[in-house]
Chains A and B, each alone.
Chain A
Amino acid sequence: MENLIAVLDTLVAERYTVASVMLFVVGLMNLLHRRDLVRKVIGFNIMDAAIFLLLTAQGYVDGRSAPMIAEGSEAAAATLYINPIPTGLVLTGIVVSVSVSAFSLALIQRIYRRYGTTDIQELLFLVKGED
């Protein structure tokens, strides 16, 4: 019983990490198991969102605020703010993720125009027939 409470306590304390892992697994399953190409791209986006959540949560500190120093105010101590670096990394990561998603969707659109389907099994069958 005490072990269970300790586990639950850990899960609550590390709630962002737990949520991130769950989201990552959901995204990974979508990426690997879905037949529809657009759903695979959505799965990849969920995976990336999970990693961004993990990164952002790493920088968050309870009780501290966003690192925005207003003009005219004193230079504040670092202890008043959350760690801005993970947030910066996530911004870059989002841009990369969007670029990759755009590329993937353009590819899928080209596939749909040529073969009339976004189902990977149908696509493989049609491509095999073409060969």
Chain B
Amino acid sequence: MRYIPMLCIFALLGSAILTAPIRSGRRAFGATLTVVLCTAAASALLLGWLLAGNPAGEPVAVTFAMGKFAAPFGNELKLGPLQALLTTVFSFVVGLAMLGGYDDFLFDVEREKRGLYCTLLSLTLAALYVLTYTNDLFTGYVFIEISTMTACALVMVRERGETIVATLRYLFLSLLGSGLFLIGIAMLYSTTGHLLMEPMAARIAALLSLGEYRLPLTVAAGVMMTGLGVKSALFPFHRWLKEAHGTTTTTSSAVLSGVVIKGTIVLQITVFCRVFTLEGVHLLHLDMVMLILGLCGMVAGSVEALHQHHAKRMLACSSVAQMGYVFMGIGLASRAGLAAACFHIIVHALSKSLLFCSVGRLSAVSRHKKDFTLLRGSALRDPLAGIAFTVGAMSVIGIPLFAGFTSKLNFATASVASPKTLAFTLVGIMLSTVLSAMYYLPAVTAVWSHSDEEFPPVASDPYFNFCAAISVALILLLGMAYTPVMEIIELGIDLL
């Protein structure tokens, strides 16, 4: 069982190589989807095994040494319940995004590039697996770069002027982020002499307890946080996300917003918890910085979304706001805050990919228009897409019964434990909720309003219907029966 993450990574890398020369887009798509769903199943199996745990029945986290070299010389993966849950969700969401955006995949991607597109999806998911499981900082850096390149190529696949500019902005900002992260690694290596997270953490704890090297550790942690923040659209480094996620094909938008930006956030959480520990992060005042930037992101993303009429750009701006919630949760630097952040990662992955897929479908039945004023009545032409969009919007706003409400409840509950910042976090959550409602509700109203314009009938998309049905069911399930998932997340954080 402990070989599952390695097998999943190799399966995805193998799938990436094998689908590249496949001429038939449908075969390449089918093969990639099969591998992606198999990795989801394997990760779920691993989760079950880790939860079953040791003979005493306690859940465990297992360290997998790669290449049979023991620490601190070898490379390692850390397999915990949280990592297994996240990779299960990531794989599943990528699979759903592939199904939901299949029609647009055939419409937007040139025939001879379809095999290569599937290669990019496999490589992106492989990079995410490594970012989630890695126990080594430099391995994290290498796969951050790989995920950057594949993500840029996913944006570029729909070759228009706007996507080219978006790709350039994303690429150059990401390179800056990677450079900062690498500087942080260099500083930490020179201070501690380790690259594996656990030995490094022991050295850092010893140094912090003696009060030595406080400034270099603060600078190293700060540049790493900034580097990872640039890649995950932390305010004020979020400007690239609107065009990058909002101008490309449906599957790319859903995968980028739903999953790719989460990879660096998961690495951020791992670095904070495993390398610096929450006490260390608090000592270096990085929690406060992250909290403030998260709160600013929550409001700034929503304010920017208010001005958007282009459907996908509005959803992309909304992603900035939602990532602000995650950073706020990390910034609370508490077990409850981290659990809320991880739960929101899962909820946002499902909701945002559903939103992008449903907008893709609503656009497909409206002559591929993307402006909300031109999508008027589209839900009446495809009611399931309309329902999916409505459910996704309700979840992001935070209406009770939907998964997003549970997220916000978790954040509010977690913030109660920090009396100093309670007022700010509650006001931030309230403001962001109101602002989200201000741009989502008019959008939902627009798609369900009657339009006088005649549109040619478009055949039903069974792949999208399946994706929408599953996603809606999961969002409602997470909204009403979230306790088991929260328990797994909390266990996972304790074993991180």
Residues of A participating in the B interface, judged by any CB pair closer than 8 Å: 24, 28, 31-32, 37, 40, 44, 47-48, 51, 54-55, 58, 85-86, 89, 92-93, 96, 99-100, 103-104, 107, 110-111, 114-115, 120, 123-124, 126-127, 130-131
- Chain A residues whose C-beta falls within 8 Å of the C-beta of B178 in the assembled complex: 100
Given A55-B189, A103-B152, A89-B176 contact (CB < 8 Å): no
Of the A-B pairs whose beta carbons lie under 8 Å apart in the complex, a sample of 20, sorted by A's number, is A24-B183, A28-B176, A32-B176, A40-B172, A44-B172, A51-B179, A54-B186, A58-B186, A58-B189, A103-B149, A103-B153, A104-B175, A107-B164, A110-B164, A111-B164, A120-B168, A126-B161, A127-B164, A130-B160, A130-B161
- Chain B residues whose C-beta falls within 8 Å of the C-beta of A123 in the assembled complex: 164-165
Q: How many residues of B contact A (CB 8 A)?
A: 29
Q: How far is the CA of A55 from the CA of B186 in the complex (A)?
A: 6
In the complex, which residue of chain B has the Cβ closest to the Cβ of A92?
B142
Closest beta carbon of chain A to B65's beta carbon, Å: 17
- Say whether B148 contacts A86, CB under 8 Å: no
Partner of B168, one of A48, A107, A114: A107
- Chain A residues whose C-beta falls within 8 Å of the C-beta of B148 in the assembled complex: 100
- Chain A residues whose C-beta falls within 8 Å of the C-beta of B195 in the assembled complex: 85, 89
Q: How far is the CA of A47 from the CA of B164 in the complex (A)?
A: 24
Given A31-B172, A47-B179, A131-B189 contact (CB < 8 Å): no
Closest beta carbon of chain A to B114's beta carbon, Å: 18
Q: How far is the CA of A89 from the CA of B145 in the complex (A)?
A: 14
Q: How far is the CA of A107 from the CA of B156 in the complex (A)?
A: 9
- Chain A residues whose C-beta falls within 8 Å of the C-beta of B175 in the assembled complex: 31, 44, 47, 100, 104
- Say whether B161 contacts A96, CB under 8 Å: no
Q: How far is the CA of A5 from the CA of B341 in the complex (A)?
A: 50
- Say whether B189 contacts A100, CB under 8 Å: no
- Chain B residues whose C-beta falls within 8 Å of the C-beta of A40 in the assembled complex: 172
Closest beta carbon of chain A to B184's beta carbon, Å: 10
Q: How far is the CA of A123 from the CA of B162 in the complex (A)?
A: 10
Residues of B participating in the A interface, judged by any CB pair closer than 8 Å: 138, 141-142, 145, 148-149, 152-153, 156, 159-162, 164-165, 167-168, 171-172, 175-176, 178-179, 182-183, 186, 189-190, 195
Q: How far is the CA of A104 from the CA of B99 in the complex (A)?
A: 30
- Say whether B172 contacts A48, CB under 8 Å: no
Closest beta carbon of chain A to B193's beta carbon, Å: 9
Closest beta carbon of chain A to B289's beta carbon, Å: 21
From B159, B179, B195, name the one whose CB has the most chain A CB atoms within 10 angstroms. Answer: B179
From B142, B153, B156, B175, name the one whose CB has the most chain A CB atoms within 10 angstroms. Answer: B175
- Say whether B162 contacts A100, CB under 8 Å: no
Partner of A107, one of B167, B179, B190: B167
- Say whether A104 contacts B179, CB under 8 Å: no
In the complex, which residue of chain B has the Cβ closest to the Cβ of A48?
B179
- Say whether A99 contacts B149, CB under 8 Å: yes
- Say whether A127 contacts B162, CB under 8 Å: yes
- Say whether A99 contacts B186, CB under 8 Å: no
Given A31-B172, A44-B175, A96-B145, A51-B164 contact (CB < 8 Å): no
Q: Which 10 A-B pairs have the closest CB atoms?
A: A127-B161, A130-B161, A58-B190, A96-B145, A55-B186, A47-B179, A51-B182, A44-B175, A54-B186, A103-B149
